[in-house]
A = this chain, B = another copy of it.
Amino acid sequence: MPENVARRRLLSGIVASGSALVMSGLFRQAEAADPLPIPKWTKSLGEPVAARPYGLPSPFEKAVIRRESAAEFSPPGYVPPLSTSSWALTPLQDLHGSITPNGLFFERHHGGLPTIDPAQHRLVIHGLVKREILFSMEDLIRFPAVSKFHFLECSGNSDTSLEGNHGQTAQDVHGLVSCAQWTGVMLSTLLREAGIDTDKARYILAEGADGAAMLRTIPISRAMDDCMIVYAQNGERLRPEQGYPIRLLVPGCEGNINVKWLRRLEVSDIPAFSREETSKYTDLTGPDGIAHKSSLFMEAKSLITFPSGGHELPEAGHYEIRGIAWSGRGKISGVDVSVDGGKNWQPANLAEPVLAKCLTSFTLPWRWDKSPATLISRARDETGYVQPYLEQLFKTRGKFFVYHNNAMQPWRIDSNGKVTNGNKG
């Protein structure tokens, strides 16, 4: 801090004044007579324009990156994933608002990340259709386009909380959720073009062009609803790790069904029961771990991102609790926040616009008096569903499920301001 500016911190507290917060005393007060020193970057010219024709973040933000899932948070005996079948988590504790920049959007691949030449890539629609069609990228882009904001969440997000190995930060535990504006063509438009056999068609099999040839089935009702074939994300063409040149987007449904590098859509009268639907992305529910089919939707969930694990509050005083909430079933209707571990709850402010199947930011002003505190947030969606405690999930689903953990996340703050995972211990 500049030396000729006094560091006095006034001691008065927060004064609520109508809905406005006046936070007198939080800040250093400049001496009226002190000129602000001229920093070194004002004394010289900077870099030329378009020094980076495709821009990158400030070098001071180099720690804000995606990270591969940390093996140390996996249960004993767990086989660490191959890096070609792994996931990289979004740094939620360092993000702001509801959009995830493309460079930080979470990644999950099953057979490594292919680099596909869009001029060679094709999508075929076949099976129970009047005419099979082969689309080039140019063909797809000529169809009527739509742009929509939707979150995407891996079904395995937050699974370390189920296994008693909780991770430290929001990124460690919950970083497999991100949000973007997607542009593409409605799947229903393409299916109408192909002319599906409405008497027999019940399912659509989607196949990826990656080395895993990822296979998932969706019911025809979903396919004709809000599904999209997307080629752009936050304005630019999809990134390779998001399925360049095209992916399936099934808004509100688990990440892996949003098949990346999409090459084939087969209209069928039966579900495929592919390997991803039988050996992998099936929840084992009940006391005996019975396979539960078709748990596609991601239920309402929320997460406090500030303060969250790894943060440290420097002093007593005003803070704003901030977080994100989402529901695969529609719009978020409210978020409640507790600062005492769930005894008392207050409604948080939701940032406009609140959109269906999209991250919604929430905030709540809070004064910390240096007492230990436990912060929890609880989302509700427009269907009336309320985000559960982890214990409630175990009660209804049993102990064997791995996916779809949408339980509330407590963050514990000690008297030194250190924030840790409240699921611990």
Which residues does A use to contact B, with CB under 8 Å?
1-2, 5, 17, 20-24, 26-32, 36, 39, 41-61, 64-68, 83-84, 86-88, 94-105, 107-109, 111-118, 120-122, 124, 126, 131-136, 138-139, 142-147, 180-183, 189, 192-193, 209-211, 213, 231-232, 234-241, 244-245, 261, 263-264, 314, 318-320, 322, 351, 353, 355, 361, 363, 365
Contact = CB atoms under 8 A, between A and B. Distances in A.
A100 B235 contact: yes
A144 B104 contact: no
A101 B43 CA distance: 31
A328 B138 CA distance: 34
A205 to B, nearest CB: 13
B239 A49 contact: no
Considering residues A2, A53, A65, A353, which has the most beta carbons from chain B within 10 angstroms of its beta carbon?
Answer: A53
Given A142-B320, A235-B95, A192 B22 contact: yes
Contacts of A111: 45-46
B49 A108 contact: yes
A87 B48 CA distance: 9
Contact of A143 (B23, B60, B209): B23
A210 B60 contact: no
A28 B234 contact: no
Contacts of A139: 26-28
A61 B236 contact: yes
Contacts of A42: 114, 209-211, 213, 263
Copies per complex? 2
The A interface, classified by DSSP as helix, strand, loop or mixed, is loop
B115 A145 contact: no
22 contacts: A21-B189, A22-B192, A26-B139, A30-B126, A36-B264, A41-B209, A41-B210, A42-B211, A42-B263, A47-B84, A48-B112, A50-B86, A55-B241, A58-B115, A58-B116, A58-B240, A95-B232, A95-B235, A101-B101, A101-B102, A104-B235, A145-B322
A95 B135 CA distance: 21
Contact of A24 (B118, B135, B144, B193): B193
Nearest to A190: B27
Contacts of A59: 115
Given A20-B189, A96-B236, A144-B21, A53 B66 contact: yes
